[in-house]
Chains A and B, each alone.
Chain A
C-alpha cells in the first residue's frame, strides 16, 4: 500500500517514539497538519512563535533526555527557527527541526515563502537534509534522529518540499541506521583510561572539571562514585550544573567568569585538571595563558575537535563519557592508593578558600535582593523542581544560589546565551513532566523576548512559574557599563515596562507581585499551589551586581569580589 509523504512523516515519528511536536502551521506543511488532525496519538503543541517551538523542543530534550521535535512552515516560519537551532547547537542538544519548503520545481525561483533554510542554518546544525524524493523520506527521518542523538548530540534540520509531502510511496521504516560516513566513537580507549588513572594516582591537587557532557550522557551517578572514591573536588561549568550535588563537601560550585572563589582558586592551583565532557570555553578559562598554569590536562570528550582546541590535552580520551567513567571507576576500584590521606592537604586548602570568600550578599529588610529570591525558590521547592533560566544576571544568580541535586534540572542557554530561551524551554520541560514544578527564572528584559508563549502555556494548561527578577534594567549589560564603561548606562534601561501582573491576567494566567522580602516566600508558595501558568513579578534591588566576577580576558584567579 502506498502512502503520501505527509502520512509517512507521521508514521515515521510514531515509529521513532517521538510522540510530541512543537509546531506552527502554514501553507506548505498543510498536508502534514491534515494528518496530525487524524492522528491524536501524535500530540502537537501549537506555539505562538516558531522560535518558541524550537526552544520548547530543546527544553523538552534537556529535561527528558529524549530528542525534541519542532515543525514549522517554509520561509518566515523556517527563518524564525534560526535562534532556537543555534542555541541547541552551541549546547549540543538533540532536536530535529522539520521545515516546510516550496515544491521542488519552484526551489530557487524566489517563490512565495521560499527561504534557503538549509543554507541559512548550515553553520549551526549538526546536519541537515533537503528531501527531494518521497522514497527517501522515511530513511532521512531515521537518519536525522540517529544523528541528533548519537555522538556529540545536536540539532538536525529536515527541509520538506510540499510536493514530496503529497507524493506517494510504500512506507518502510529502517530498523537500524548505518552510515558509512558517520560512525561516532563510542568506546573509550582502555590504555588512555589507564594513563588517566595513573595521573590521578600521582596528582597531589586534582580537580574534576565537569561540563554538559556529563548530563547529556546520563553519567552523573558515575561522577559521584568517582569523586567520592578518590576524594577529589568537583567543579562544574554552567552546562554541567546538576551533575554533582551542590551541597556535597567535594563540590566547588561553578567555575569561570562568575564562578565561586574556591573553584577558580582550585583550578588555578591544581596539578591535574580532568575535563569531563567540557570544552574550555572562554567564559570558563578567562585568560588562556594563565589558566591552570601548573596543571597536567586530561580531557575526556566524545568530540575529537573539542580536545586540544583551546587547551592542549596531555591525556586525551575520545569516547562516550559514560563508558569512560565506568572504565575509570573500575580501574580506580583496584587502586591501592589511600586517596583520603593523599588529598587531605589539598582539600584543607580548598576549605580555607571556601571560608575566605563565600558567595554572599547584603540582606535588606525594605528591598528584595535578587539573590534572596533564588534562595527562597531553592528553599520552597527543596530543590525538587526543574529550573530554566533566561540570560543575564538572573541566570548567574540562579547558577550560583540554587542548590541543585540532580542532572536535567537546570536548563540554560550556555553557549549562545539566548535571552528568551528560558520560558519556552520551561514549557517544553513541563510538557515532558506535567506533574513537576517548573520554574523560569527570568529577567525583565529577557522575558519580553518570548512572552507570547504565555498563550501556549495557558492553552496547554502547563503550569510553568515565571519568576521575574525585575530590576528595571538589562542588568548584566548595565553591570558591565558600571564596571567597565564609567557608569554610562547607555540604553540599558527600559523606561516603559508592562505591568507584568496585568499582562499575566490578560493571557488568562495568574499574576503576583512581591515588593518586600517577607512577601517572597508566600508569593512562591501561592504560585506553586495554583498549578497554573503564573508570573511572579519580584521587584528587586535595581543595581545589584553579580559577584565574583572575572573581567573578560583576565586570569580567573583575578576576581572582583564585591
Chain B
C-alpha cells in the first residue's frame, strides 16, 4: 500500500543522506521525497511517499524514529490528511490545440505560467491523483517536458507534526 510519511528532523548537515541511506540500505522504496525548513530554522520537514505491506511500513517508521536526528514521524495513511504536489508541464502549442490545452488547464484549476510562440507551460497543484490525471489528459496534446515535485502533507484539524 502507498503511504505518506512526514518526518520532522534536525536541520543538520547530512540528515537527508541519513534518511535516504536508510531507505536504500534496507531496501525500502521511495516514490518521492520533499524537504524544506519549517518556521523554526533548526528543523526541517520531510515528506516521503513509500510503498509496502504493514510489516514493512512498521519497520520504516521505527527505523526513521531510530535515526538520532529524527524528532518525530507521522504515517498519514491512518488518518484524514491533505496532500499536495505540483507539476510544471511544457506542451507544444499549435493553433489547433491551444483551446484544448486551456480547457484542460481550467478544468484542473491550473495556471499557464509561461507562454512562447510554440509552447505553453502549465502549473497544476493537488493531490497525487489529480496531478496524475492532469498529466494523462494533457499527454495526447504533446508534452515536451515535465517536472513534478515530491509531495507535502499535513493533518486536517488541530493535529500537528510538531
Cα–Cα, bound, A181→B64 (Å): 11
For chain B residues 124-142, which have a beta carbon within 8 Å of chain A?
A: none
Residues of B within 8 A of A182 (CB): 68
B32 at the binding interface (Cβ < 8 Å): no
Cα–Cα, bound, A305→B62 (Å): 5
Cα–Cα, bound, A123→B14 (Å): 13
For A96-129 the 0/1 string (1 means CB < 8 A from B) is: 0000000000000000000000110011001110
Which residue of chain A has the shortest Cβ distance to B42 in the bound complex? A180
Nearest 3 CB-CB pairs, A to B? A127-B68, A305-B62, A181-B71
B96 at the binding interface (Cβ < 8 Å): no
Q: How distant is A289 from chain B, measured CB to nearest CB, in Å?
A: 15
For chain A residues 283-328, which have a beta carbon within 8 Å of chain B?
A: 303-305, 308-309
For B62-75 the 0/1 string (1 means CB < 8 A from A) is: 11011011110000
Which residue among B13, B66, B69 has the maximum number of chain A CB atoms within 10 Å of its CB?
B66
Partner of B71, one of A119, A180, A304: A180
Q: Are A181 and B17 in contact (CB under 8 A)?
A: no
Cα–Cα, bound, A130→B62 (Å): 25
- A-B contacts besides A122-B17, A180-B71, A303-B66, 6 pairs, CB < 8 Å: A118-B14, A179-B68, A181-B10, A181-B70, A304-B65, A305-B62
Residues of A within 8 A of B13 (CB): 130, 132
Which residue of chain A has the shortest Cβ distance to B66 in the bound complex? A305
Which residue of chain A has the shortest Cβ distance to B9 in the bound complex? A181
Q: How distant is A317 from chain B, measured CB to nearest CB, in Å?
A: 15
Q: With A122-B17, A127-B68, A181-B10 known to touch, is A305 a contact of B63 (CB < 8 Å)?
A: yes
Which residue of chain B has the shortest Cβ distance to A127 in the bound complex? B68
Which residue among A119, A305, A308, A309 has the maximum number of chain B CB atoms within 10 Å of its CB?
A305
Q: How distant is A149 from chain B, measured CB to nearest CB, in Å?
A: 13
Which residue of chain A has the shortest Cβ distance to B58 in the bound complex? A308
B109 at the binding interface (Cβ < 8 Å): no
Q: How distant is B15 from chain A, measured CB to nearest CB, in Å?
A: 10
Question: Mostly helix, strand, loop or mixed at chain B's interface?
Answer: helix
Cα–Cα, bound, A122→B13 (Å): 13
Q: With A126-B68, A181-B68, A181-B69 known to touch, is A304 a contact of B14 (CB < 8 Å)?
A: no
Residues of B within 8 A of A147 (CB): 68
Q: Are A119 and B17 in contact (CB under 8 A)?
A: yes
Cα–Cα, bound, A157→B73 (Å): 25
Residues of A within 8 A of B63 (CB): 305
B97 at the binding interface (Cβ < 8 Å): no
Interface residues on A, range: 10 to 19
Q: Are B68 and A123 in contact (CB under 8 A)?
A: no
Residues of A within 8 A of B68 (CB): 126-127, 147, 179, 181-182
Residues of B within 8 A of A179 (CB): 68
Q: How distant is B52 from chain A, measured CB to nearest CB, in Å?
A: 14
Q: Are A308 and B66 in contact (CB under 8 A)?
A: no
Cα–Cα, bound, A304→B63 (Å): 8
Q: Are A308 and B69 in contact (CB under 8 A)?
A: no
Q: Are B14 and A308 in contact (CB under 8 A)?
A: no
Partner of B59, one of A126, A132, A180, A305: A305
Residues of A within 8 A of B21 (CB): 122-123
Partner of A304, one of B9, B17, B66, B70: B66
Cα–Cα, bound, A73→B66 (Å): 29
For B88-129 the 0/1 string (1 means CB < 8 A from A) is: 000000000000000000000000000000000000000000
Cα–Cα, bound, A13→B55 (Å): 42
Cα–Cα, bound, A122→B18 (Å): 7
B25 at the binding interface (Cβ < 8 Å): yes
Cα–Cα, bound, A30→B10 (Å): 32
Partner of A309, one of B10, B59, B65: B59
Residues of A within 8 A of B58 (CB): 308
Cα–Cα, bound, A122→B68 (Å): 12
Q: How distant is A256 from chain B, measured CB to nearest CB, in Å?
A: 23
For chain A residues 365-424, which have a beta carbon within 8 Å of chain B?
A: none
Q: How distant is B75 from chain A, measured CB to nearest CB, in Å?
A: 14
Cα–Cα, bound, A181→B62 (Å): 14
Cα–Cα, bound, A304→B10 (Å): 21
For chain B residues 9-44, which have a beta carbon within 8 Å of chain A?
A: 9-10, 13-14, 17-18, 21, 25
Q: Are A123 and B62 in contact (CB under 8 A)?
A: no
Q: How distant is B87 from chain A, measured CB to nearest CB, in Å?
A: 32
For chain A residues 530-555, which have a beta carbon within 8 Å of chain B?
A: none
Q: How distant is A523 from chain B, measured CB to nearest CB, in Å?
A: 46
A-B residue pairs in contact (CB < 8 Å), sample of 5 = A119-B17, A130-B13, A181-B68, A305-B62, A305-B66
Which residue among A118, A127, A181, A305 has the maximum number of chain B CB atoms within 10 Å of its CB?
A181
Which residue of chain A has the shortest Cβ distance to B68 in the bound complex? A127
Residues of A within 8 A of B25 (CB): 123
For A129-143 the 0/1 string (1 means CB < 8 A from B) is: 010100000000000
Residues of B within 8 A of A128 (CB): 14
Cα–Cα, bound, A181→B66 (Å): 9
Q: How distant is A104 from chain B, measured CB to nearest CB, in Å?
A: 11
Residues of B within 8 A of A305 (CB): 59, 62-63, 66
Cα–Cα, bound, A181→B8 (Å): 9
Q: How distant is A21 from chain B, measured CB to nearest CB, in Å?
A: 24
Residues of B within 8 A of A181 (CB): 9-10, 68-71
Residues of A within 8 A of B66 (CB): 303-305
Q: Are A308 and B55 in contact (CB under 8 A)?
A: yes
Cα–Cα, bound, A179→B43 (Å): 13
Which residue of chain A has the shortest Cβ distance to B63 in the bound complex? A305
Which residue of chain A has the shortest Cβ distance to B8 in the bound complex? A181
Cα–Cα, bound, A308→B56 (Å): 10
Which residue of chain A has the shortest Cβ distance to B15 in the bound complex? A181
Q: How distant is B16 from chain A, measured CB to nearest CB, in Å?
A: 11
Residues of B within 8 A of A127 (CB): 68-69
Q: With A118-B14, A122-B21, A123-B25 known to touch, is A304 a contact of B62 (CB < 8 Å)?
A: yes
Residues of A within 8 A of B17 (CB): 119, 122
